[in-house]
Amino acid sequence: MGTVIPSEARNLDKPAALVIGGGIAGIQAALDIADAGFPVYLVEREPSVGGRMAQLDKTFPTLDCSSCILTPKMVDVGRHPNIELMTYSEVVSVTPVNRETGKLVGEETGSHQSTNLPTYQPTKPPAFHVQVRRKPRYVDVSKCTGCGSCAAACRMKGRVPSTFDEGIVKRSAIYVPFPQAVPLKYTVDPSVCLYLSRGTCGKTFLCKDACPAGAIDFEQQEEMVNLEVGAVIVATGFDLLDARLKPEFGYGVYPEVMTGIEFERLSSASGPTMGKIVVNGKQPKDVVFIKCVGSRERRREQAALGSQQAALGGVPYCSRVCCMYTAKHAHLVRDKLPDARITVFYMDVRAFGKGYEEFYDRVKHERVIYRRGEPSEVYRRRTTDGEIHDGDGGGRLVVLAEDTMLGKPVEVEADLVVLATAITPRTDMPQTAGLLGLACSPDGFFQEAHAKLRPVDTALDGVFLAGCCQGPKDIPDTVAHAKAAAASAMKVLVQQSSSIHSSSTQSSSTHSSSTHSPEGRPI
């Protein structure tokens, strides 16, 4: 236990910001605030920052390599003098503190000090007490050089599905999620490490024996860290709908049916197949994309259940990115498989962003067939002789749909079916909301203070939203949202730096400042 202050503490005289989540939203918000001279604690629960964007192959509509544009930012947050990067860590509590009294909100009543001068130094008034749990990596990060000898030696090598690669490849129990990880430090996955999960790993620890730096430390314990911050940015991201909730498409039954994010890993040059599009050991000849899988679903029984929507197989909103990433996927297939037949089944094409319609035009000219109709089913058609042949699982997949332009049902054979699954709120949204006292909108994402005019503010003074935790967004909108959240947080931080001197002139200091905007207007 102890209070961590930003390394080298260049800005102890300024209030700090907490950024929860190290995807592109959290990274961008942290960089902006840090560049402005405020200290930032960037907390990420995974072993590396990067989030979803790190998983992507190319980005639409410019086809920039996602990790090529993201990695420099990841490196920046890793070495920025004003950023304390706390990976493999989770925020466990955020408690508003009355800025005038320095007491926890709700505890100052009855305190005889409550009407007196601030308890904290006037130059650094905290607005939130934050507790962060640093999970044990079982690796001493000060010693680990990221060489990978441990992972090569691990008894579980090649047996643990890689979350980063969407289970397409298997890793070791000790791992870095991906080669560009920041920090490039190994982590032992306690749920699969033989020693940590079963108490024994043979006669000797292979990883320990292999590590030239002596970095592996199974005695490491979790550590609770107390922070004091003036603003919080929530950038906890999103989940994707479990495609098994749409059983008609056979995801989880047929290896040829995969999700969009799985396709990203398959197509990525740094992915498990080095970017080769291979299904069942073969290059697909016919590729079918199905859009809106689980998005735009209005169900009466779901409406009654509110945020349980995702569990019932669909969400009511448009996930906003699927039209464009499907166009991008179609382009990537065309790029790599010039002779493939590529069919995109769609209900609508929503190409709303800068350069998006132009990209859609381009992809259509690349011999990608857009057919209007939401497919209803995928099944495997037996070969005509009824025999099961090696490699095709007994026949080709058939996508059933109505081509609504033709007005008749069609059956399209496919060697690869890619499902554009809906963006959903994080499954642990209720816990995160409870931690911060945030509200969720009916779609299950965090509720902003005003749908039009205060898109990054929350009902809580000093707490801001960035990225997809507020609703589905593409990368440019996420970055814009993050930069707006950073600017709003900085406004609060600047006011805290200066306004504390005038706080003794306020009439009632027993009033929690968190119920007022910095200007003193009720929220």
Partner 1 sequence: MTPQGLLKTEPMVEQLELMGCIQCGKCTGGCPVARKTTLNIRSLIYHMLVEPELDVNAHPELWDCTCCFTCVERCPKDVRPAELVIGLRGQLVESGQIPDTIGAALTGIFRQGNPTGMAREDRCGWTNGTQVKAAQQGCQVLLHVCCTPAYDPRVQVVPRALVKAFTAAGLDFGTLGTEESCCGNEVRRMGEAGLFEMLVEENGELIRSVGASRLVATSPHCFNTFKNEYSLTGMEVVHYTQAVAQLLDEGRLKFSNEVKKTVTYHDPCFLGKQNHIFDEPRAVLKAIPGLKLVEMDRNRERSLCCEGGGGRMWAEGTNLAERLAFQRVHEAAETGAEVLAVACPFCLLTLEDAVKVQGLDEKLRVMDIMELVDLALA
Residues that bind partner 1 (CB under 8 A): 247-248, 250, 292, 296-300, 314, 347-348, 372-377, 379-380, 382, 386, 394, 400-404, 407-409, 411
CB 163, min distance to partner 1, A: 28
Q: How many CB atoms lie within 10 A of CB 114?
A: 17
Euclidean distance between CA atoms 160 and 175, whole angstroms: 10
Q: Cα 161 to chain center, whole Å? A: 19
Where do we find the tokens 């109709």?
373
CB of 282: closest distance to partner 1 in angstroms? 20
CB 91 within 8 A of CB 135: no
The answer to whether the CB of 478 falls within 8 A of the CB of 99 is no
C-beta of 387: minimal distance to partner 1 in Å? 9
Tell me which DSSP letter residue 216 carries.
B
Query: Do 402 and 408 contact (CB within 8 A), yes or no?
Result: yes
Of 4 and 398, which CB lies nearer to partner 1 in the complex structure?
Answer: 398
> Considering the complex, what minimum distance in angstroms separates the CB of residue 333 from partner 1?
23
**Phi and psi dihedrals of 131, rounded to 5?**
-115, 130
* Residue with Cβ nearer partner 1 (173 or 292): 292
**Residue 143 or 299 with smaller CB distance to partner 1:** 299
Question: Least CB distance from residue 364 to partner 1, whole Å?
Answer: 20
Q: How far is residue 254's CA from residue 240's CA, in Å, rounded to a whole number?
A: 19
- Count Cβ atoms below 10 Å from residue 256 Cβ, excluding itself: 23
Kindly report whether the peptide bond that precedes residue 61 is cis, defined as omega within 30 degrees of 0: yes
Minimum distance of partner 1 from residue 414's CB (angstroms): 14
SS3 58: strand
Residue type, 51: G
Least separation in angstroms between CB 429 and partner 1: 23
Query: How far apart (Å, rounded) are the C-alpha atoms in residues 171 and 156?
Result: 8
